[in-house]
Chain A
Amino acid sequence: MWQVIVSELTKATHDILRSIARFLPRLVVMLAIVLIGLGIAFLLRSILRSILRIAKFDKLSEHAGAAQLLHKAALPSSSELLSRFVFWVAWLGFILLGISVLGIGGLQEHVARFFAFLPRLFAALFVFFFGLLAASFFSRAALLASVNADVPSPRLISATVHTLIVFCAVSMGFEELGLAENTVLVAFSIVFGALMLGMALAFGIGGRELARQFLEKRFVRGKKEEKEDELSPL
């Protein structure tokens, strides 16, 4: 009996030792991957930071209005934030790669899912950033055009354009991430529809006089208004 117990214990000990012996090289490989990954992530961060500095990315994000958002949220500059983001994504990728080397059951699938998600995450960030850039550009264009055409409420027009584009970019970003697709789509449709209806009503009821003046100015000849543009600027 005692011999059986000793023999089983010895076998179990051997098994454990064999497992440890099998596991140790994997652990070492994992640690190596994580450390190499850390180095590569650092390198990537430095390279990206330099590229963004050369490309004046901070200025671009300032134009896009992203810098102001980050400043309000007490976050670092957009180039710094993007560099850190890339660092963490890269390192996390290496950590997961290392863990997958350990051969722990069930983790492989999660790791694969993470890597499959990365392109979508980048695409969503890309859409969001360029959405902000487009919102800033077109809202400024609307503001300038409204002021120069002497249209009432230029800032309201500009803010409406900005909000619409940002909302559109955010919903596209969420759709790319696959988050609450239906909710975002429905919310967007409701907001957009309500805005258009509101504008149509406002222009039709509240802006009758404005519409009349606009059409008169545009199509009725002979009614000459005394204005500065009659002076030839050139």
Chain B
Amino acid sequence: MPEESILTDDFLRELMNVGEVDIVVGVPTYNDAKTIGQVVQAVRAGLLQYFPRQRSVIINADGGSRDGTQDLVRAASINDMRQAAGTHALRTLHCISTQYSGGASAEGNALHTILAAGDLLRATACAVISPDSISIEAGWLEHLLRPVFRDNFDLVTPLYRRHKFDGLLVRTLIYPMTRALYGRLVREPYPAEFAFSSRLGNYLLNQEIWTEDVARTGAEMCLTLSAITGGFRLVQSFLGDKARVDHAPADLVRAMRQTVGTLFWSLDRDFAIWSACTDTQPVPTLGTEQDLNLEPLRVNRKRLHQMFVRGVSELEPVLKSLLAPATLSALQHIAGVPEPEFCYSDELWVQTVYEFAAAHHKAVISRDHIVQALAPLYRGKAHTFLALNRDASGAQVEDNVEALCRAFEQLKPYLVEQWDGRK
């Protein structure tokens, strides 16, 4: 049994005390003391309000926080919440906290723990909520879990109302590339919040991915891609505002490992599927479509441009081993263009990404180095995206993303050609 190796004895004991449940809500944490109380309260309120008859458990999988996150989760009292919300649970709502191994560098182990616990408790539906989601409302639980319960969907991915410049990596690479190659229109392939059925949970649990590095860093992405390739029923559910969390700046390289690294790795595994996929299927959406917040935002585009130019020049020996000479020379050409006129075209970006994917497949150099080398180039594309959409309306931003998606789709044969061809 896969869960035997990941669940500790104490945690198993606690799970056995809980017994079988209908719903598992997993909250993976690592030093999230500032936000965890609010998130756990919202989760509880959601379960009490929308699923009072279901047997539920909240499982906090912690990476070894040193700021008392686990204590906060344990200390949160269900009675206070009941009184505050004026709701009455018909069943006991359990809350368990456990530690997963590996800490912040192995976030995927948190999902593995939640999956194993859900499997052991025979939960019909599992939801995972990010501890960063400070704008979470009780209704999110309903939007995520109801489609699994009511309509037998296997994976519910979120849609948010977020700033037009948030989630740039997803918008300029992960979403268009996943859509072009796997043929499913999933807006958030690397979801922060999502729900899944026991069928999909078991399927993923039995996949041979848990010993791979990719499962430790990008398990959420693996879940989405496995749901697509496994033919599971997908749905997107609009949750509402995704607030910007004011904490330490996000680490771009880490984000790229979690998403781009996982996507490139999956391409290797799923070659037979994505190379045969010719059309794009929409995914049903519950609630409104992706909504954009257009508030003005000050972004230092000059710095993005500088970092792109510096990356192209300093990484030349590395890029030479990854890119076709024509692509590298085109990059060097645009790196010489002054910042106001700088433009990293969709076609060149797609070509770059596909050549990186092929180099990753061939393991031309260390695969982690390939992912890292893409970061400065992504900064160039982010600059162009920001400049192009500076004064754009929501619809115009969507049009530009759509154009990028089409470029990824049109150049798909180029990736297939690069895949087995010699550079």
Contacts and interface: CB of A to CB of B under 8 A. Distances in A.
B300 A232 contact: no
Interface size for chain B: under 10, 10 to 19, 20 to 34, or 35 or more residues?
35 or more
Interface stretch (A30-38, A96-104, A122-130, A144-152): A144-152
A163 to B, nearest CB: 15
A148 B369 CA distance: 11
A109 interface: no
B303 interface: yes
Interface in A196-226: 226
A154 to B, nearest CB: 5
Interface stretch (B18-26, B245-253, B331-339): B245-253
Interface string B275-319: 000000000000000000000001110011001001100110010
A185 to B, nearest CB: 32
Interface in B248-267: 249-253, 255-256, 258-259
B298 A150 contact: no
B318 A233 contact: no
Interface in B8-49: none
B311 A147 contact: yes
Contacts, number: 81
B145 interface: no
Interface string A135-149: 001001101111110
Contacts of A229: 249-252
Contacts of A120: none
Interface residues of A, number: 22
Contacts of A230: 249, 299
Contact of B303 (A147, A154, A228, A234): A228
Nearest to B191: A234
A233 B252 contact: yes
Main secondary structure of the interface of A (DSSP, over half): helix
A231 B166 contact: yes
Contacts of B253: 148
B307 A228 contact: yes
Contacts of B376: 147-148
A135 to B, nearest CB: 14
Nearest to B171: A233
Nearest to B316: A155
B246 to A, nearest CB: 9
B79 interface: no
B366 interface: yes
Contacts of B169: 233-234
Interface in A102-137: 137
Contact of A154 (B165, B249, B314, B379): B314
B259 A140 contact: no
Contact of B379 (A143, A155, A228): A228
Given A229-B252, A234-B169, 4 more contacts: A147-B311, A147-B376, A229-B251, A234-B259
